[in-house]
Structure 1
Amino acid sequence: MDQQVKRVKRELIKHGAILDMYEDTMELPDGKQETWDFISHRKGAAAVVPVRGDGKILMVKQYRNAIDRMTLEIPAGSRDSVTEDTRVCAARELEEETGYCSDDLTRILSLKTTVAFCDEFIDVYLAKNLKPGHQHLDEGEFIDVAAYGVDELCDMIYAGTIQDAKTVAGILAYKNLLNQD
């Protein structure tokens, strides 16, 4: 059944640094109206699965306010503008967060993080041939970097220790690539 849902009105509730929150009035197929929340991630983002020569993956550990705890994630960040190539963003975030550089970045997947209420997209890249660079964190950013084996990370995903969507998707996509070789 093809159901038509129509946005009747969109009202900006809060304008943030990278996100805007809206209240949408939606007309449903039965003619009734409901109010839905919508969050616009204005720039989009990129993430990177950085694989060292020994096969270990560099991960970043940082505090996340939304879930009030430390997380283990692949490096990622917002694009500087809506026109910035996500590959450029991924390379920048790799060096900023881990202190490593790579000219060998390949996009392995694109995802929408939370389609129920947000339009954020993230392109996830695989980075190989890592070279030491200089970590330069953003102001107010505190990150620890550690290396893990892919199987160890998969175990953490299935145990529920790693729950970040881009990280889960990136690690599992990389594991799938390894299984194809």
Structure 2
Amino acid sequence: MKPRKWKTLRSDVAYSTPIFDLYRRRSTHARRGERDFFILDAPNWVNIIPLAKNGDVVMIRQWRHGISEFTLEVPGGMVDPEDPSPMHAARREMVEETGFDSDAIVELGKVHPNPAIQGNICFSFLAENVRQVERVV
């Protein structure tokens, strides 16, 4: 049997924050009937792997409120409205968070980070031969 698509009947903002909006989406399905789904509407994200000439990966330690812990991770963040492209956003985040920059940035790919409840895309990049251009504290 061929899977059938859900049809959106209506979608309303249930809650709004500076980072995302939560929508209540009423949908219908030929076999499953009508149901409410909750969707997070968030901006696209970027991650970038800063790779030094010696093979070291530049990472950052950040406090993450979701888990109330520090994490060690590659730089990344949201694509801001004023960013001309996801690659620009990735480079901006890398310089802001690590103080390192590169003239050799390539896109590795993109994924939907959580397609069950989000429609945004996460773009991943590699920055080769990074060099320190400013001090970040």
TM over 0.5: yes
2:17 matched to which residue of 1?
Answer: 16
Match of 1:14, as an amino acid?
Y
Unaligned runs of 5+ in 2: none
Match of 2:38, as an amino acid?
D
- Shift in Å, 1:106: 0.3
1:5 pairs with 2:6: yes
Q: Over residues 83-104 of structure 1, what are the superposed CA-to-partner deviations in whole Å (9 max), with x where a residue is unaligned?
A: 6201111111111001101111
Match of 1:33, as an amino acid?
E
More strand by share: 2
Is the 2:49–2:125 Cα contact (8 Å) retained in structure 1? Answer: yes
% of aligned pairs identical?
21
Q: Go from structure 1 to structure 2 and tell me whether the alpha carbon gap of 1:21 and 1:101 turns closer, same or farther (over 3 Å shift).
A: same
Taking the aligned partners of 2:58 and 2:66, their CA distance within structure 1 comes to 23
Q: How does 1:60-139 map to 2 (within 5 A)?
A: 60-81=60-81, 84-135=84-135
RMSD of aligned C-alpha atoms?
1.7
- Shift in Å, 1:136: 5.3
1:46 matched to which residue of 2?
Answer: 46
Q: Over residues 9-44 of structure 1, what are the superposed CA-to-partner deviations in whole Å (9 max), with x where a residue is unaligned?
A: 101011211211101111122251111110011x31
- Shift in Å, 1:53: 1.1
Unaligned runs of 5+ in 1: 138-181
Taking the aligned partners of 1:2 and 1:131, their CA distance within structure 2 comes to 50
- Shift in Å, 1:120: 2.2
Taking the aligned partners of 2:72 and 2:82, their CA distance within structure 1 comes to 27
1:26 matched to which residue of 2?
Answer: 27
1:166 matched to which residue of 2?
Answer: none
Kindly report structure 1 stretches of 4+ aligned residues shifted beyond 2 Å: none
